[in-house]
Chains A and B, each alone.
Chain A
């Protein structure tokens, strides 16, 4: 006998209690503290801040531990919090030229003002698992020296002096940047809006698309003009005050991709730009973003749109992992009302199909008999 079940509420509560238990795991193992995550899983924290669009290490760490290390789930937690925060203003554009640089490399020049600075990079590490780390071995304190405080001009600015690279965008100085978190997206979109969407886009998705451009799907001949990582100062204009108020600093990764361009009906032969900027330290993301940004500028340069990476609606509509994971996973929700409607239709169509077949067979028999 079937009895309509009323158990949803208790089932959900129990499932969540089990989740909390599994999240904590073996109680004899000390619980993770947020500062441990901030200090020791810093790049994970950076990714959550970057794709969560909220610069707050502690909240990102909380999200990571609450999500059991599921990064997209952690990004989702942060997004769902940051969206409830009222806006009290927009900072002035950051000046990455004035960045307190920790790492800066250029692939286009052997040496350049400010020099090449490797910084804390995985590059050239040998990917050998480290048993000493597993044993909790101590790491020596770093050596420190006074900063040389040399200006580190951007490579794009050096190229621009010779007029070999396109100017840095054609937006007027008084253009007010859009805000994808406050206004609905509309296509086609201006580059400022597009860059915002890419900056919070899924690292994996952008990586794959950027990679596809290198393999010939909208190849755009990229060189890393430079990648730089470091702290930049944030300033806010306050209406009552005659000067901009410093709010503190954030760590960002910037990638200026320099792309070869033979020229077209619309533009002369010159180098063109692809730009990537993300919170925290993530070269992979910044570089992939720069590749995608350049690919998405195809129509601007009169290039044929032939590949996925060049298709603005395709890329921007599918780059947000919080949206993507929600819609893919919503297929788990009950759909039995719709399924019932489809069942009914398929049954009717099957019945008609069988009736036709039977009628056909009877017809054949009759003809054979004649």
Chain B
């Protein structure tokens, strides 16, 4: 196209106007002050659809500054389409440095995973949350669930978990597994696999949760107690895999199943792509690893 763009529409640094950022920061501060409590906020329309990370994007847009280094993952990977899109968005509207390396990022926005590399003090993990209310599928009405939280009335959730055991012999919740925060609020950890729940417990990083469509923000300040709900005779357990990563031979990490052919052939690889690449650079080899690891630029500075 040769036509010059007109100034018919212009945008602020990190897209949101400063009034909105202030409003969101207030909600974040309130969330930090009451760990696990869902703070209502006046969520904005974002330039990506609701349900595609607008809550996380609003949180990130409100806390990001020109010196931040941003990492965005979806399903643990930096290269899934939506992660690429959100990273490109912040490159465009805030011109910040981006990275795929967990350790180098100051802000990590995530959907469905917590990185395998332990987070450190000073880092912020921003979760994209579809349905922030852990009680929603037990009670569809917001007016009711808010009362239940206020009265700490979580019997329904325990009944649900008990019914799972009665029916299936185990708690049949594998992701978005409910947690209790600082012994008070039952919280939805977002649809991360329960494998990641223990990483939330007393993490030195600040964890922020944004639900755009549902207009809620909640937070876990560093070193907050986060305990997965369970029973004495049915203690909480994380998923285990029978085989290591086929590319980097990592064990005790979360794996994706990749279908190789149409005769049932499959392999398991790390869901956290950065972790997998790092291990291969260090010389770890899985049984299906290619000979030469790809050398990729992992950090792009601000332009």
- Which segment, of B49-57, B199-207, B218-226, B228-236, faces chain A? B49-57
List of A residues within 8 angstroms of B195 by Cβ: 341
> Which residues of chain B are near A343, meaning CB under 8 Å?
257
- How many residues on the A side are at the interface (Cβ–Cβ under 8 A)? 56
At the interface, yes or no: B267 with Cβ under 8 Å from chain A?
Answer: yes
User: A58, B8: Cβ atoms under 8 Å?
Assistant: yes
Which A residues are CB-close (under 8 A) to B54? 326
Contact indicator per residue, chain A 308-342, by CB within 8 Å of chain B (1) or not (0): 00000100010000110111111001111110111
CB contact list, B76-126 vs A, under 8 A = 76, 79-85, 88, 111-113
- Residues B290 and A338 in contact, CB atoms below 8 Å apart: no
- Do B75 and A1 have beta carbons less than 8 Å apart? no
A248 at the binding interface (Cβ < 8 Å)? no
Given A6-B296, A87-B19, A343-B257, does the pair A12, B81 have CB atoms closer than 8 Å?
yes
* Contact (A337, B193) CB under 8 Å given A323-B50, A323-B213: yes
How far, in angstroms, from A5 to B9 measured CA to CA in the complex? 36
B174 within 8 Å of A by Cβ?
A: yes
Given contacts A2-B258, A336-B256, A337-B271, contact A7 B79 (CB under 8 A): yes
- Indicate whether A83 reaches chain B with its CB closer than 8 angstroms: yes
Query: How far is A338 from B256 in the complex, measured between Cα atoms in Å?
Result: 10
Q: Does B253 have its Cβ within 8 Å of any Cβ on chain A? A: no
Q: Is the CB of B74 within 8 A of A322?
A: no
Query: Hey, which chain A residues are within 8 Å of B168, CB to CB?
Result: 349
Binds A, one of B35-43, B62-70, B154-162, B181-189: B35-43
User: How far apart sit A114 and B62, CA to CA, in the bound complex (Å)?
Assistant: 53
Residue contact B75 to A326, C-beta cutoff 8 Å:
no
Q: Are A9's CB and B175's CB within 8 A? A: no
A4 within 8 A of B: yes
The 8 Å CB contact of A340, one of B143, B256, B294, is: B256
By a CB distance below 8 angstroms, the chain A residues around B213 are 323, 326-327
Interface size class of B (residues with CB under 8 A): 35 or more
Shortest Cβ gap from B27 to chain A (Å): 9
Q: Counting CB contacts under 8 A, is B264 at the interface? A: no
Instruction: Collect the chain A residues with CB atoms within 8 Å of residue B85's CB.
Output: 12
Say yes or no for A85: interface residue by CB 8 A criterion. Answer: yes
Q: Which of the listed residues B76, B142, B269 has the most CB atoms from chain A within 10 Å of its own CB?
A: B142
**A330 touching B52, Cβ below 8 Å:** yes
Confirm or deny: B130 has a beta carbon within 8 angstroms of a beta carbon on chain A. yes
Q: Which residue of B lies closest to A24 (CB)?
A: B1
- The docked-state distance in angstroms from the alpha carbon of A365 to that of B41 is 64
Closest residue on chain B to residue A327 by CB atoms: B51
- Find out whether the CB atom of A329 lies under 8 angstroms from the CB atom of B193: no
Contact of B49 among A58, A313, A329, A336 (CB under 8 A): A329
- Contact of A91 with B by CB under 8 A: no
B25 at the A/B interface (Cβ < 8 Å)?
A: no
Beyond A2-B267, A341-B193, is A334–B79 a contact (Cβ under 8 Å)?
no
Q: Any chain A CB within 8 A of the CB of B172?
A: yes
Q: Which residues of A contact B269 (CB under 8 A)?
A: 2, 4
Return the contact of B113 from the options A7, A186, A337 (Cβ within 8 A): A337
Contact B17 A84 (CB under 8 A): yes
The 8 Å CB contact of A85, one of B17, B175, B254, is: B17
Do residues B42 and A181 form an inter-chain contact, with CB atoms below 8 A? Answer: yes
B250 at the interface (CB under 8 A from A): no
Q: Tell me, yes or no, whether A86 is within 8 Å of chain B by CB.
A: yes
Within 8 A of B (CB), among A237-294: none
Most chain B beta carbons < 10 A, residue from A7, A59, A186, A344: A344
Q: Does B141 contact A (CB under 8 A)?
A: yes
Give Cα distance in the complex from A249 to B19, angstroms: 27
- CB of B243 closer than 8 Å to a CB of A: no
Do B215 and A184 touch (CB < 8 A)? yes
Min CB gap B228→A, angstroms: 14
A185 proximal to B (CB < 8 A): yes
Provide the residues of chain A in CB contact with B290, threshold 8 Å: 1, 3
Q: Which of B5-25 contact A (CB under 8 A)?
A: 8-9, 11-12, 15-20, 23
A330 touches B11 (CB 8 A): no
Chain B CB within 8 A of A109 CB: no
User: Is the CB of B283 closer than 8 A to any CB of chain A?
Assistant: no
Measured CA separation A81–B50 after assembly (Å)? 15
Which residues of chain A have C-beta atoms less than 8 A from B45's C-beta?
A: 76, 79-80, 82-83, 322
Q: Which of A58, A85, A327 contacts B50 (CB 8 A)?
A: A327
Q: Is the CB of A326 within 8 A of B52?
A: yes
Q: Cβ of B43 and Cβ of A187 under 8 Å apart?
A: no
Q: Tell me if A32 is interfacial: C-beta within 8 Å of chain B.
A: no
With a cutoff of 8 Å between Cβ atoms, the chain B residues found around residue A342 in the complex are 174-175
Chain A residues in 8 Å Cβ range of B47: 80
Q: Is the CB of A2 within 8 A of B19?
A: no
A148 within 8 A of B: no
If A2-B269, A336-B75 touch, whether A330 touches B51 (CB-CB below 8 Å) is yes
Q: Does B31 contact A (CB under 8 A)?
A: no
- Assuming the A-B contacts A6-B294, A334-B80, A341-B193, are A184 and B174 also in contact, with contact meaning beta carbons closer than 8 angstroms in the complex? no
Q: A333-B82, A337-B113 are in contact. Are A2 and B288 (CB under 8 A)?
A: yes
CB-nearest residue of chain B to A79: B45
Q: Are A334 and B193 in contact (CB under 8 A)?
A: no
20 A-B contacts, Cβ less than 8 Å apart?
A2-B258, A2-B288, A6-B296, A8-B84, A9-B79, A83-B45, A83-B46, A86-B17, A184-B41, A184-B215, A186-B40, A313-B143, A323-B213, A333-B82, A336-B257, A337-B254, A340-B254, A340-B257, A345-B172, A349-B172
Q: Which 4 A-B pairs give the minimum distances between C-beta atoms? A: A326-B50, A330-B51, A326-B49, A341-B174
Given A187-B141, A326-B50, A342-B174, output 18 extra A-B contacts at Cβ < 8 Å: A2-B267, A4-B273, A12-B81, A62-B8, A82-B45, A84-B44, A181-B44, A182-B42, A188-B143, A317-B142, A322-B45, A326-B51, A326-B213, A327-B51, A336-B256, A337-B76, A340-B256, A340-B257
